[in-house]
Amino acid sequence: MPDITEQLQQQINEVRSKGRKLAIVGGGSKQFMGRDISADRLEVGGHSGIVNYQPVELVMTVRAGTLLSEIEAALAEKNQMLSFEPPRFGDSSTIGGTLACNQSGPGRPWWNSVRDQVLGVNLINGKGEKLRFGGQVMKNVAGYDVSRTQAGAMGSLGLLTEISLKVLPKPSTTMTLAREMEHAEAIRFMNARAAEPKPLSGACWLDGTLYLRLSGAQSAVEATAKHWDIPVLQEGELFWQQLRDQQLEFFAGEQPLWRFSINSSAPTPALKGHWLLDWAGSQRWYRGEGEMAAMEAHAEKAGGQVSLYRGGDRTGEVMHRQQPALQAIQKRLKHSFDPDALFNPGRLYSWL
Amino acid sequence: MNTDSKPVNTAVSKPGKAELADMFRQFIDPQFVITDEETLKPYECDGLSMYCVMPLLVVLPETVEQVQQVMRVCHRYRVPVVARGAGTGLSAGAMPDAGGVVLSLAKFNRILDIDPVARSARLQSGVRNLAISEAAADYGLYYGPDPSSQIACTIGGNVGENSGGVHCLKYGLTTHNILSVEMITVEGERVVIGSDGLDSCGMDLLALITGSEGLLGVITEVQVKLLPTPEIARVIMAGFGTVDDAGDAVGGIIAQGIIPAGLEMMDSHAIVAVEAFTGAGYPVEAAALLLCEVDGTEEEVQEHIEKAEALFRDFGATSVRTSKDDVERALLWKGRKSAFPAMGRISPDYYCMDGTIPRAHLARVLNEMQDMSKRFGLRVANVFHAGDGNLHPLILFDANKEGELEKAEAFGSDILKLCVEVGGCITGEHGVGVEKIRQMPMQFTDSEIEQLNAVKNAFDPQGTLNPGKGVPTLRNCQEYRAIHLQPQAPEVNHA
């Protein structure tokens, strides 16, 4: 696939000179996230391809529009993986969108997030300048960490064009354990297991069943399963994949989907709807109607934040409120990267 | 005496040292507002003592409110503020400003809370790195990042520098191991960035603050993640006949799917020096030495140790020794951990560099470094975080010899240039500070420098937080590109 950075840069400069705005689109599989906005589409999907992959360095550099499926296939050939297990909400999911929306799957508490694994980015800022931050090495503290700041910024700081990532070897053995358990007991149990030095790589609770995933050396996985004495779930891989890609029945239907990112041991907010607990209790999904302000209060009580992930009113705010001083800093940061507010205006917050 | 605490709206005249001290004594215990030369002296530099500047004064606030008040006063009068933890930094990031205040967080040394269930700890920013793991040990937990200075360095400083350590290949840097910080903005406002959750909405300001070298705000509290202490850890020490063999063995381990907890390399100069210093039994005839630590469950460690031992032999190891217990493990690590003091024994002074390179270029970089060594007439020994490509060349020199410090600095600069040429960077974990600000243009274009300065401006429009560090001005950058400036050396005092 070709490098179309120049073309993207040209497009940005044209839109800028006309005083118009841009909505960045990679594969379009995460269009449901953030607030609804209307602006000219800036298609990045054509800017794809693996630029460099050095398995022994554990580093891969890819263009932002590269499909997750292409990246994961190349890694699999060398028995490696994207440890943050990016969700695929469709075949068209790209790495750029994954980083911009900071999306990581079930292994995140143990294997880091996409934000954590980013080593460097190339981006085009709102002045049409091509910039490079970070690099292709594991440790780099020259300049501010602009690369990781992109995670969750939803394109508000510029157009990502290239991303370097730390990749990891695939664990040699994976096993899923499952048993019945009550909601509150599951929170306690998942936290207790996560405090043990065992090869845990997933901890989820749904509909009265606790699911644990073990990954690592075969001997360690088998010994831990025996030690914990929880039944093995056959073909458990499918469960984790469906959890990652939100294909479980829990995620179906039109009801609003809320995401709570909170203290892993906090009691679940007392709401009437349907809950799914992931990340050993740190990430909790809720299906049900709710007012943003009330949900924010619940999240803060549990030591964290909430977002209206999918559905509901997408013209109001969908991300947890910001402290006024932090809101002011983010506005100024936005201005520093994108003085004319070209990129995704209002997608993350109405004021950004 | 100026006791006026009301905001001054019109152009404010900068108060003198005595006036400023009086203002601070209104709300800080007077004995913790330091103005006399003798008591100020220890604050004139950090761990990189070739850069020394006496500050106007030093304050040691005891509460967050006092920090806020210090910031408000300094903001109103545009007085530079340099925050300081333990002062162990190696890039002069905590070097004072001659017209400014050093804000020491030394009194912020309380562990506020350990949550063994959610596996996190809340700490004031002056808590020592090692003290966290010591306090968490009762719960079978520890804090991951372990910089060499961990006995003394503070968690606030670790956030400022994004510190790593020997275990960061597997357990990550500071940025991977913190949940939130409490920060005082340049205006004196208290903000919390992050939460108890693993991520937060909006731009990832926590990432931006981590490694920002005190240029964006003053950290007063940090919430860190705690990890379960591994059941067991063992270390393999392997000697190799060539650097290439050792480098290939590192790649071989990773290709096997093993991520060691630590993977360190030393070259022959370093091996000889540390063996003379510690007598830990290092193979002095080897051209390179690897220390490979594997941790995890009993079963996993057994499996990986066997694989790694065999693999090292396949890659031509001339000696392989594996620790049988924690006593032997500590002994094998002792040499690596004593590398810096060991250099102090064979040379009056040493200058520690901190570039990072893609590992594939290791042999080329080490060979070119030996050529430079001949050219500059200075010895260089190498210790290397081999797993993550972070080089620490130690340039040996004698500051009492006319011109040797300048030669050492020029040698160091050439090493960093080489690191950038092979696709690496000028600093892996020590930070830019004052020391490497001249090398920033090697790694960044003018547009990138301008963008970094714009980020700074979003937090600190008047530029009073740790001025002159981290990111050069665009003008300086262009000047550096135009002419190669000779480094200045105000004062030299290597301990």
The pLDDT mean for chain A works out to 97
- Closest-CA residue of chain B to A80: B257
Nearest to A145 among B168, B198, B208 (CB): B208
| The pLDDT of residue B324 is above 70 | yes
| The pLDDT of residue A1 is above 80 | no
* A191/B140 CB distance under 8 A: no
Q: What is the DSSP string of B320-336?
A: EEE-SSHHHHHHHHHHH
Label residue A303 exposed, middle or buried (CB < 10 Å: 0-12, 13-18, 19+): buried
What is the token pair recorded at A109? Answer: 């508490």
What is the distance between the alpha carbons of residues B233 and A170, in angstroms, rounded to a whole number?
21
Q: What is the DSSP string of A94-151?
A: BHHHHHHTT---TTHHHH--HHHHEEEEEEE-TTS-EEEEE-SSS---SS--HHHHTT
- Closest-CA residue of chain B to A132: B448
| The pLDDT of residue B11 is above 70 | no
SS3 B81: strand
Residue A336 distance to chain B (closest CA, Å): 5
What is the residue whose two structure tokens read 């799957």? A105
| The pLDDT of residue A278 is above 90 | yes
What is the distance between the alpha carbons of residues B120 and A233, in angstroms, rounded to a whole number?
31
Q: What is the DSSP string of A196-250?
A: SSS-EEEEEEETTEEEEEEEE-HHHHHHHHHHHT-PBPTTHHHHHHHHHTT-SGG
The per-residue b/e assignment along B270-279, b for 16 or more CB within 10 angstroms, e otherwise, is: bbbbbbebbe
Q: Which of A105-109, B103-107, B491-495 is least confident?
A: B491-495
Average pLDDT, stretch B221-236?
A: 98
Q: ipTM value, please give it.
A: 0.97
Q: Is A106 on the interface with B (CB under 8 A)?
A: no
Residue A137 distance to chain B (closest CA, Å): 6
SS3 A278: strand
Angle (nearest 5°) at CA B239 between B234 and B245: 110
The tens digit of pLDDT for each residue in B419-465 reads 999 999 999 999 999 999 999 999 999 999 999 999 999 999 999 99
* B359/A172 CB distance under 8 A: no
| The pLDDT of residue B1 is above 90 | no
The tens digit of pLDDT for each residue in A108-158 reads 999 999 999 999 999 999 999 999 999 999 999 999 999 999 999 999 999
The tens digit of pLDDT for each residue in B135-183 reads 999 999 999 999 989 999 999 999 999 999 889 999 999 999 999 999 9
Residue A337 distance to chain B (closest CA, Å): 7
**Beta carbons within 8 Å of A8's beta carbon, 6+ residues apart:** A42, A44, A47, A124, A159, A161
* A333/B455 CB distance under 8 A: yes
What is the distance between the alpha carbons of residues B29 and B108, in angstroms, rounded to a whole number?
15
Average pLDDT, stretch A338-345?
A: 97
How many residues are present in chain A? 352
The values of phi and psi at residue B321, to 5°, are -135, 130
| The pLDDT of residue B487 is above 90 | no
What is the residue whose two structure tokens read 């460097």? A120
* B255/A55 CB distance under 8 A: yes
pLDDT of residue B477: 85
Cβ atoms B22, B461 nearer than 8 A: no
| The pLDDT of residue B339 is above 70 | yes
- Four-residue CA torsion sign, B159, B165, B169, B170: negative
- Four-residue CA torsion sign, A320, A325, A328, A334: negative
Q: Which of A246, A211, A259 is nearest to B198 (CA)?
A: A259
For strands A118-124 and B317-322, give the pairing: unpaired
pLDDT of residue B484: 54
What is the token pair recorded at A235? Answer: 């073909």
Question: In this structure, how many other beta carbons lie within 10 angstroms of the beta carbon of residue A299?
Answer: 26
Nearest to B457 among A109, A195, A336 (CB): A336
* A217/B303 CB distance under 8 A: yes
Nearest to B175 among A57, A109, A148 (CB): A148
**Beta carbons within 8 Å of A141's beta carbon, 6+ residues apart:** B161, B162, B211, B427, B428, B429, B430, B431, B432
Label residue B345 exposed, middle or buried (CB < 10 Å: 0-12, 13-18, 19+): exposed
Average pLDDT, stretch B122-136?
A: 98
Nearest to A57 among B115, B185, B358 (CB): B358
End-to-end alpha carbon distance in chain A: 33
Question: In this structure, how many other beta carbons lie within 10 angstroms of the beta carbon of residue B11?
Answer: 5
pLDDT of residue A264: 98
What is the distance between the alpha carbons of residues B415 and B366, in angstroms, rounded to a whole number?
10
Q: How far is CA B405 from CA A204, B74, B129, B490, in A?
A: 58, 36, 32, 11
What is the distance between the alpha carbons of residues B440 and B473, in angstroms, rounded to a whole number?
10
The pLDDT mean for chain B works out to 93
Q: Which of A295-304, B25-34, B244-253, B319-328 is least confident?
A: B244-253
The tens digit of pLDDT for each residue in B64-85 reads 999 999 999 999 999 999 999 9
Cβ atoms A185, A265 nearer than 8 A: no
DSSP state, residue B102: E
How remote is the C-alpha of B160 from its chain's centroid? 9
Average pLDDT, stretch B191-216?
A: 98
The tens digit of pLDDT for each residue in A239-276 reads 999 999 999 999 999 999 999 999 999 999 999 999 99
What is the distance between the alpha carbons of residues A93 and A97, in angstroms, rounded to a whole number?
7
**Encoded amino acid at B172, one letter:** G
Which of A127, A141, A188 to mutate: most B Cβ within 10 Å?
A: A141
pLDDT of residue A319: 98
Q: Encode B36-75 in three state secondary structure.
A: CHHHHHHHCCCCCCCCCCCCCEEECCCCHHHHHHHHHHHH
pLDDT of residue B7: 46
The tens digit of pLDDT for each residue in B80-120 reads 999 999 999 999 999 999 999 999 999 999 999 999 999 99
What is the token pair recorded at A255? Answer: 């009801």
Output the pTM of the full model: 0.95
**Longest C-alpha distance within chain B, in Å?**
76
Cβ atoms B349, B494 nearer than 8 A: yes
What is the distance between the alpha carbons of residues A227 and A105, in angstroms, rounded to a whole number?
26
Q: How many CB pairs under 8 A join A and B?
A: 289
What is the distance between the alpha carbons of residues B235 and A3, in angstroms, rounded to a whole number?
45
Average pLDDT, stretch B348-377?
A: 93
Average pLDDT, stretch B24-50?
A: 97
What is the distance between the alpha carbons of residues A339 and A327, in angstroms, rounded to a whole number?
16
pLDDT of residue A203: 98
pLDDT of residue B479: 83
| The pLDDT of residue B360 is above 90 | no
Cβ atoms B44, B97 nearer than 8 A: no
Q: What is the DSSP string of B262-308?
A: EEEEEEHHHHHHHHHHH-----TT-SEEEEEEEEESHHHHHHHHHHH
What is the distance between the alpha carbons of residues B298 and B303, in angstroms, rounded to a whole number?
9
Q: Is A242 on the interface with B (CB under 8 A)?
A: no
Average pLDDT, stretch A196-220?
A: 97
What is the distance between the alpha carbons of residues B19 and B22, in angstroms, rounded to a whole number?
5
* A197/B296 CB distance under 8 A: yes
% of chain B at pLDDT higher than 90: 87
pLDDT of residue A311: 97
| The pLDDT of residue B52 is above 90 | yes
Label residue B346 exposed, middle or buried (CB < 10 Å: 0-12, 13-18, 19+): middle
**Beta carbons within 8 Å of A67's beta carbon, 6+ residues apart:** A27, A48, A91, A92, A93, A94, A95
The per-residue b/e assignment along A119-133, b for 16 or more CB within 10 angstroms, e otherwise, is: bbbbbbbbbbbbbbb
Q: Which of A19-33, A113-127, B9-23, B135-149 is least confident?
A: B9-23
Question: Which chain A residues are Cβ-neighbours of B298 within 8 angstroms?
Answer: 223
The values of phi and psi at residue A227, to 5°, are -60, -40
Angle (nearest 5°) at CA B141 between B139 and B143: 140
